Structure formats: structure tokens, C-alpha cells
């Protein structure tokens, strides 16, 4: 099996606030991420697709096609947006790295027709990232060893 | 689909690869320049990966407000700007290769109460890295 990985970047604003918490609880749990005016990140997204190369083309999935899927489904939806207000898939969820990665997984999985979505890795900063991995897939650090976002 | 959270921390430390059971010549042959008796150092990067349910109220596997001070206390404060061979008790009897440093850091972080420790991955330099996931017969040592 071969794994191929494509990287894209988007920049977006967010803040963390749970309306069922008191103002004091929100500050305690979320710290400076609770600032209601929001703040932003340059997110780096790495998407890995696993499969066997087609014997005719030598490709698991045409990277150009993967690039177009990422542009259409993720970048156009999230780039230069406020994740709390402008991305319906995140409505009612705290837009943490974990939740954004899971939404990206759900958006991409049905669009990958050749090979299977193996891993979504979303860097909020070079030192913080969330992975969503296929059930039963190895959760090791493949694909980004030593690579800084 | 399973979700994991990873956070990277840094410390700078010195070490020397040397096993007292070997002769001086064997040590030099096995460890090469890492056997220099004065030691040498690295900027280590420690990548800590946690797994567990994403809390619906917070959207988090673990709150960095809890994870950061735990890792700072258990690992960064204990290792940063230290000579690992002499100032970290576990390496007085065990060669501080990055394999062993990875196992020791895993052992120190495993008790983190809020989520399951999935793996520790250490970059000793930008060209090499070591992972330990707590598996294998050595896990209990």
C-alpha cells in the first residue's frame, strides 16, 4: 500500500466559548482563547490517501484531483473566514483543532473516490496539531516526520 | 475514525553515550564521537500525542492548560539544560540514547490523567527521530 500526502494552508479566525458555561468558567477553561473578539491562525492541513497505484497510471489518486478537492471543500470554505460564524459544519461546536480536523475528515471522506482517506493532520501552529486517522490504520507519525508546518 | 492531539515541546541537554561494561576501545568503536568523555548536546523536540474522546463541552481531547504544565514539570524542568547522564537519575544506570530518553519520557507522561498517552516522538536533531508507543517487552522496564 502507498500513502500520498498533499498539503494546503488556510488562515482563519476563531475563539472558544461554550454558552452553557458561565463567563468565569469560559475564562478558566479556555484561557486567552476565550477572548470574544477572536484571534487567528495560519492552519496547515496535510491530507493522506492510501491505496494501491493504478497499474495504468502509476497513481493512487491524481494529486491534481486531490488538490482540487482540497481547494473546493476546505480552502474555499475556511480560508479567511471566522470559524465560529461562517462555517456551518462547525455550528454548535467549539472550533478546536480536534473538531476542525474531524469536520475536514467528514467533508473529504465521501469525495475521495480512488484510494481511501487515511489521515487528516491539521496544524494550528508548528507545535500543536490534531490527527484524524482511519479506524485500524497505523496512527504513527508517517507523512510528516520532522516537517515543520 | 480516531482523533489524536499532538503538542511539541523543547529542551536542550547534554549527554554522552558510554557503557561502563564495555572497554574504552569498545565504547569508542560502538558510540564513535558520541563517546567523547566531555559530552555533547542537542536541542531536543518532544512530540507528545494523546488520544481519547473529544469532550463535547470543550471540543478538546485534553486542555493545554493542563497538559502544558504537566509536561513542563515532568519533562522540561527535569531535562532542560541538564547533563542527562548525571542529572536525571534514570540515566545513571542506562545509556541516554534517544531511544532510552523516549522510553523515559513516555514513562513520566503516562500518568497524565485527562487522556491516554498514545506516543512520544523525539527529534534529537532535525535529521533523526525516535518514537515510543509503550508497546513491546521493554515497556515495563
Residue A149 above 50 pLDDT?
Answer: no
Distance CA A6, CA A8 (A): 7
Task: Indicate whether B138 pLDDT > 70.
Answer: no
In the block, residue with C-alpha cell 527529534: B123
For residue B60, which of A36, A74, A8, A101 has the smallest C-alpha distance? A101
CA A125 to chain centre: 12
Of B9, B47, B61, the CB nearest to A98: B61
Residue A135's pLDDT is what?
85
Identify the pLDDT of residue A147.
39
Q: Is the pLDDT of residue B71 over 90?
A: yes
Q: What is the pLDDT of residue B110?
A: 98
C-alpha cell at B48: 507528545
CA angle A83, B56, A72 (to 5 degrees): 35
Asked if residue A145 has pLDDT above 70, the reply is no
Spacing of C-alpha B110 from chain mean position? 12
pTM of the model: 0.90
Q: Which residues 108-137 of A are in CB contact (within 8 Å) with B?
A: 126-135
- The pLDDT, as a whole number, for residue A143 is 41
The distance of B134 to chain A (nearest Cα, Å) reads: 13
Could you read off the pLDDT of A40-60 as tens digits, one per residue?
999 999 999 999 999 999 999
* Residue A141 in this model has a pLDDT that exceeds 90: no
Q: Between A86 and A140, name the one with better pLDDT.
A: A86
- pLDDT for B105 beyond 50: yes
Instruction: Determine the average pLDDT of the residues in B120-133.
Output: 96
Chain mean pLDDT for chain A: 92
pLDDT digits (tens, 9 = 90+) for A24-45: 999 999 999 999 999 999 999 9
Partner-chain residue, chosen from B6, B9, B131, that has the shortest CB–CB distance to A129: B6
- Which residues of chain B have a CB within 8 Å of the CB of A139? 2, 4, 49, 51, 118-119
User: Under 8 Å CB-to-CB from A89, ≥6 apart: which residues?
Assistant: A77, A103, A106, A107
Going by pLDDT thresholds of 50, 70 and 90, the confidence category of residue B135 is confident
Q: Please check the confidence at residue A144 and state whether its pLDDT lies above 70.
A: no
Which residues of chain B approach chain A closer than 8 Å at the C-beta?
1-9, 47, 49, 51, 54, 57-61, 63-65, 118-119, 121, 123, 126-127, 129, 131, 133
Q: What's the rounded Cα separation, in Å, for the pair A7 and A48?
A: 9
Per-residue pLDDT of A62-112, as tens digits, reads: 999 999 999 999 999 999 999 999 999 999 999 999 999 999 999 999 999
Interface contact A102-B131, CB threshold 8 A: no
B91-104 pLDDT tens trace: 999 999 999 999 99
Query: Which of B1, B3, B121 is closest, CB to CB, to A141?
Result: B121
Per-residue pLDDT tens over the stretch B107-124: 999 999 999 999 999 999
Please report, for residues A48, A63, A70, A112, B113, the alpha-carbon distance to residue A7 in angstroms, rounded to integers and kept in the order given: 9, 11, 9, 15, 33
pLDDT band (50, 70, 90) for residue B24: very high
Helix (H, G, I), strand (E, B) or coil at A93: coil
* pLDDT tens digits, one per residue of B8-20: 999 999 999 999 9
Amino acid at each position: 500500500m502507498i500513502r500520498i500526502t498533499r498539503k494546503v494552508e488556510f488562515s482563519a479566525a476563531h475563539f472558544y466559548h461554550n454558552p452553557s458555561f458561565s463567563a468565569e468558567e469560559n475564562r478558566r477553561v479556555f484561557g486567552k482563547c476565550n477572548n470574544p473578539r477572536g484571534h487567528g491562525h495560519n492552519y496547515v492541513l496535510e491530507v493522506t490517501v492510501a491505496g494501491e497505484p493504478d497499474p495504468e497510471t502509476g497513481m493512487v489518486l491524481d494529486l491534481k484531483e486531490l488538490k482540487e478537492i482540497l481547494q473546493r471543500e476546505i480552502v474555499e470554505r475556511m480560508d479567511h473566514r471566522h470559524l465560529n460564524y461562517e462555517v456551518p459544519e462547525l455550528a454548535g461546536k467549539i472550533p478546536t483543532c480536534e473538531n476542525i480536523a474531524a469536520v475536514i475528515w467528514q467533508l473529504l471522506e465521501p469525495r475521495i473516490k480512488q484510494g481511501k482517506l487515511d489521515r487528516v493532520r491539521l496544524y494550528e501552529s508548528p507545535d500543536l496539531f490534531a490527527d484524524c486517522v482511519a479506524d485500524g490504520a497505523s496512527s504513527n507519525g508517517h507523512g510528516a516526520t520532522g516537517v515543520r508546518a | 475514525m480516531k482523533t489524536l492531539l499532538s503538542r511539541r515541546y523543547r529542551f536542550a541537554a547534554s549527554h554522552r553515550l558510554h557503557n561502563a561494561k564495555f572497554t574504552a576501545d569498545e565504547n569508542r568503536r560502538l558510540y564513535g564521537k558520541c563517546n567523547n568523555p566531555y559530552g555533547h548536546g542537542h536541542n531536543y523536540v518532544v512530540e507528545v500525542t494523546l488520544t481519547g474522546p473529544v469532550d463535547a463541552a470543550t471540543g478538546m481531547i485534553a486542555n493545554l492548560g493542563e497538559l502544558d504544565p504537566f509536561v513542563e514539570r515532568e519533562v522540561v524542568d527535569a531535562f532542560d539544560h541538564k547533563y542527562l547522564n548525571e542529572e536525571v537519575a534514570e540515566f545513571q544506570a542506562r545509556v541516554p540514547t534517544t531511544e532510552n530518553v523516549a522510553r523515559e519520557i513516555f514513562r513520566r507522561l503516562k500518568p497524565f490523567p485527562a487522556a491516554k498517552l498514545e506516543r512520544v516522538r523525539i527529534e534529537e536533531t532535525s535529521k533523526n527521530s525516535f518514537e515510543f508507543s509503550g508497546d513491546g517487552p521493554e515497556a515495563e522496564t
